Amino acid sequence: MIAKFRGQNLTFAIVQDLGAAIVTGTYSSDKPFPIEADLCKHYGASRSVLREAVKMLTAKGLLRARPRQGTWVEPEESWSLLDPDVLRWILERKFSLPLLAEFTEIRLAVEPLAAQLAAARATPAEKAAIKVAIERMYAAERGRMIP
């Protein structure tokens, strides 16, 4: 087993490692996904652990697996871009201005209504905490710290 995976669930660790490798281009339609036996050996994992990791990556839209036929990397259009892991892996790769613009559009569509609902439903204590947070942001912008 690889040292960096000790102390955490092996299936989760394999998903994280392979997911990041797929999203950053280590594996693609041009660079085939390794066979199960090689991955088991590489991670020191059983076939059932590896198959569970592949199922999780398939659910995220990154892979397509067929028994006795192999596993392929899906095109980016198939990836579940609302999955937090996929989003994190995408942000780990090279900066993309179009992707940043898309995230900004989504935030502009969702956040104003979310803020309105939060303000309408907030208790006085929650509103006071929001006010303190805003004051701290303004202070930080001016280079000051408020405890």
Structural domain boundaries in the chain:
3-78, 95-141
Taking Cα atoms as reference points, which of 109, 61, 113 lies closest to residue 87? 61
Does the structure show a pLDDT above 80 at 4?
no
pLDDT band at 130; cut points 50, 70, 90: confident
Residues contacting 30, CB < 8 A, separation 6+: none
Average pLDDT on 4-13 reads 73
Residue 6's pLDDT band, with cuts at 50, 70 and 90, is low
Q: How confident is the model at residue 1 (pLDDT cuts 50, 70, 90)?
A: very low
Task: Reply yes or no on whether the pLDDT at 3 is more than 80.
Answer: no
- Span 95-112, average pLDDT: 88
**Mean pLDDT for the stretch of residues 137-146:** 87
C-alpha atoms less than 13 angstroms from C-alpha of 46 in its C-beta half-sphere: 3
pLDDT of 2 above 70: no
Fold of 3-78: Arc Repressor Mutant, subunit A (1.10.10)
C-alpha–C-alpha distance, residues 97 and 45, integer Å: 38
Is-contact 19 85, C-beta < 8 A? yes
How many percent of the chain have pLDDT more than 70? 94
Q: What's at 120, amino acid-wise?
A: A
CA distance 30 to 16: 21
- The stretch 64-71 carries a mean pLDDT of 87
Q: What percent of the chain has pLDDT over 90?
A: 64
* Sign of the dihedral through C-alpha 39, 48, 16, 10: negative
- Does 75 or 8 have the greater pLDDT score? 75
Residue 65 or residue 57, greater confidence: 57
